[in-house]
Each structure stands twice: as C-alpha cells, then as structure tokens.
Structure 1
Amino acid sequence: MGTEEAIKRWDRFADTYSQNHSEHGDIHKEVFLNPAIFSFIETITNKNVLDAGCGEGYLSRMLAKSGAHVTAVDYSARMIEIATKRTPPDLEIHYQQGNCEELHFLEDHSFDLIIANMVIHDLANYEKAFREMYRLLRDQGTFIFTILHPCFVTPGSGWEKTKDGKKLHWNVDQYFYEGAYEQRLGDQEKMLFFHRTLTSYINTLMKTGFRLEGIIEPKPSEELLQQYPSFEEDFRCPDFIVFKVKKS
C-alpha cells in the first residue's frame, strides 16, 4: 500500500475530516500545532508561501490573512474543492491539486517558506517529498513541517487502561518498523500512515541539504489548558513533533 491508496482514502474521508475544522483547524491543531508553527515563522508579509498538503485550507487562510502570498496544494481533489469553497474571494490563495512527492508544475526556487502540516507521514516516499521542498525553496528559505511523533505514535501504540477505563500509561510498539500502517479516524474510515524512525527523518533532512534550525514537541499552554482541561494528559508524552529547517 502506497501513496495512491492514501489519496483514495483521504478523498473518501475529506468531508468528514473537514467538518471538524474551524478557522483554526481542529482542536489538536489549535492547541498544539498552530502555536508551534507560528513561533517558528519569521517575517511573513509579502513572502511567497507554499502550504504543502493544505487539506481544507485553514492554514492557508491564516497565512493569507497575515499578509503572505499563498500557494496551496493537496493530493486529494476533494480537499481542494472544499478548501476553494471555504476561502473568501478577497483572500488570493492559489489552490492546485498535487502530490508533494512530485510538484513538477511549480518552479524551482519559488518560495520563501514552505509549511507541511501533518502531511509527511501521509506520503510513502518522504525522501522524494523532502527533495521537492528543497527544490522549491529559495536559498536560505525555510521549511517547517509537523508530524505525528515517531517515537510515541507508532503502529500498535495506545493507552493501557484499567477495566473501568482509567488510563495507566501509553504503550509504544514496533518503533523500528518503517512502512505503512492503518489508523482508524472517525467511525468508519481507516487511514493509511507511513511510519519512520526519528533517525531516518533527521538523516534524510541532512542528506537532502537542509540545516536543522529547531525542534518543538508541542504541549498545551496554560491558557489553552484552562480552555481544554482534558489535554492535561498530554504532559505525559507528546503526540506531535515540529521541525524547522533551512535550505543551506
């Protein structure tokens, strides 16, 4: 099972997925990922930005409202349809269907900043995707990407619970397995994710030519924790990791 199968599943799941997204994304993006992403962003006004794997477009809209010139791609045709419908006419976002493993229709050195938000683990060939991001960035351009934390969200991971449902600890399994696995999202659809080790991610970034600038393992702020107290459990282990790299 590869990227083509993942695309089919995301096309089927797109409407259900998008229902859970407001203008700040879903609750996990609002609490964990958005603060981390924007803490890594430097000047954005009048910069050319690629939202690589835009989904229903919430981040593209946030970036455009911040003054960026935004191009957005997603490999799901249905996601692009939804993103286009949700975007007001006054926000000039250029949406195109495209797989981040091969974005031949975009020119070399076109972007100052590329963001891939919860996308890379949806791609079978992440090495090729990293090379595409490198090709598309201008010199000293920045690539920010977020993924499920590969040390803790693995095939077979999950909470160990008592009979009455109390969470005891988080189980991790099959960390050194690299490849496709299924994860249920929503009530019916099993999505296809691709697991790699932290070693593979970092070594591939360096091999591609990127320079590591920073890493964040997001945890909820005190302010958001007051709003969403159930996320107290996320101080026990991280669900996500965010990378900032630069084109050398």
Structure 2
Amino acid sequence: MEATAEEGDFAKRHLVNPVLLRLLGDVRGRRVLDAGCGNGYFSRMLAERGAEVVGVEPSEAMVTFARDKERETGRSTRYVQADLTRLPDLGGAFDAVVCSMVLMAIPDWKPAMRACVEALRPGGLFVFALVHPAFENLWATWREHGEYRQDRYLEEYVVHGPAAPDFHRPLSAYLNELAALGCRLREIVEPGLDPSVAATTPGLTAYTRLPNFLIVSAEAPA
C-alpha cells in the first residue's frame, strides 16, 4: 500500500489518473465521492486539488491506511468503511462520483453502479474506469504470441489474477446499465501509453497500440 500511496501503480500514473482528472475537471469546492477508494491515493489527489472528498472502501486494512495517511496530511478527507452496494448516509448528494477499477472487480456490480448514480445530485458527474473488457489479457497474450488474442468476449466469466479475481463482462453490459439508470453518456476514453514512456521499460509496446483500460464519463439524470 505504501508503494502506491502517492499516485497508484504504473498503469494508474500513466494511463488512468490523467484521464480521470481531465474528465472530472476543476474540482475546487466540489463534493466528490471516491467509490472504492482502496488505499485512498486518488482521494488524496482530489483533495490536493481542492475537492471535498469522501472515500468509501470495504477493506478495513485499506481504510485504516487511508485514515493514517490523512492524519499525516492534515486534510479533512473522510474515509468510510462500507460496501458500495449498501452505502450509509454520507452527508448529502455529491457533485461527482469517481469509481476507478472497481466495477469489474466485484460480482454484485449493478447495485454498486446504481449506488454511485444515486449518490449524485441531479446532473452530477459519474466517472468510472475499468480494465478494458476487450483487452483484459493484453500483457500475457502479447508476450506469448506477439499479438492480442480473445475468443470469449461475449461470455461472462472469472478472470483470475495474482491477488484477486476480476469478472469479465462485455462493454455493452456496463453501458446498457448506465443507460437504464437514466445517465447521459459524455465521453468514452481508451488511453494508450505514450511511446516515450513505453520505451523506458521492455515489453510495453502492446500498451501503445491497444487499450488496456476503459474510462467512461456520464451525467446523472437531471
């Protein structure tokens, strides 16, 4: 947790964070929910930019770490240990909700997405990031074959990872649920790695040519 406490891991720093921050825009004075905040690194980035942040995370260890970091910084970010599908009273509606790398990691994702949308003020901004469902195994298959291979895209299945599993669902599942919640799509981003960054580390060519992440911005119903 300490190693990723400032800006997250390599992928977050170079591919995810810059897009999230651009889509969220100027957050000064805005109330933002970091839904599934993990160790709180992105909450801290938002607070540094002047947002009033509440971070929600089910893991006790993560919340404890985030609260300890908060005491070091002296800011007023509030961290709440809770499941996204059963949010407690968080003190009113939010101007924006960011849910980064969470929805594809939980089986009960539809109630979690609904909770994020319902936490927003009318017309508020919902931004979420996923491992791109079309390119989940980008690193492994590119390394083995020199190209990307996918043969089960339309199925739903478990993607086993080194720490915990993710859950593959086609992109249409997320976008159709967003529409069913009455949200208006604003932008979809499929970021590629800057070739100059890829050149610093062997084996990253695939990330300059195919997107490993998908980031979506939408407005809640007015």
Give the TM-score, by structure 2 length. 0.90
Counterpart-to-counterpart distance in 2, 1:202 and 1:160:
27
Number of paired residues?
Answer: 220
Quickly say closer, same or farther: Cα 1:19–1:172, change in 2 above 3 A: farther
Who is 1:145 aligned against? 128
Who is 2:140 aligned against? 158
Quickly say closer, same or farther: Cα 1:105–1:192, change in 2 above 3 A: farther
2:197 matches 1:183: no
Who is 2:90 aligned against? 106
Runs of at least 4 residues off by over 6 Å = none
**Which structure 2 segments of 5+ residues have no match?**
none
Q: SS of the residue aligned with 2:141?
A: strand
CA contact (8 A) 2:194 2:208 kept: no
Counterpart-to-counterpart distance in 1, 2:178 and 2:76:
31
Aligned match for 1:37, one of 12, 20, 40: 20
Matching of residues 75-114 of structure 1 within 5 Å: 75-87=58-70, 88-106=72-90, 110-114=93-97
Who is 2:172 aligned against? 199
Counterpart-to-counterpart distance in 2, 1:24 and 1:213:
25
Percent identity of paired positions between Structure 1 and Structure 2: 30
CA contact (8 A) 1:210 1:247 kept: yes
Aligned match for 1:220, one of 165, 173, 193: 193
Q: SS of the residue aligned with 1:40?
A: helix
Quickly say closer, same or farther: Cα 1:141–1:223, change in 2 above 3 A: farther
Name the aligned partner's letter for residue 36 of structure 2.
G
Q: SS of the residue aligned with 1:170?
A: coil
CA contact (8 A) 2:142 2:206 kept: no
Who is 1:64 aligned against? 47
Aligned match for 1:244, one of 203, 214, 217: 217
Query: 1:241 deviation in Å?
Result: 0.3
Name the aligned partner's letter for residue 165 of structure 2.
L
Query: 1:239 deviation in Å?
Result: 0.7
Name the aligned partner's letter for residue 70 of structure 1.
V
Q: Greater share of strand residues, 1 or 2?
A: 1
**Which structure 1 segments of 5+ residues have no match?**
1-17
CA contact (8 A) 1:157 1:171 kept: no
Q: SS of the residue aligned with 1:37?
A: helix
Who is 1:27 aligned against? 10
- More off after superposition, 47-56 vs 192-201: 192-201
RMSD: 2.2
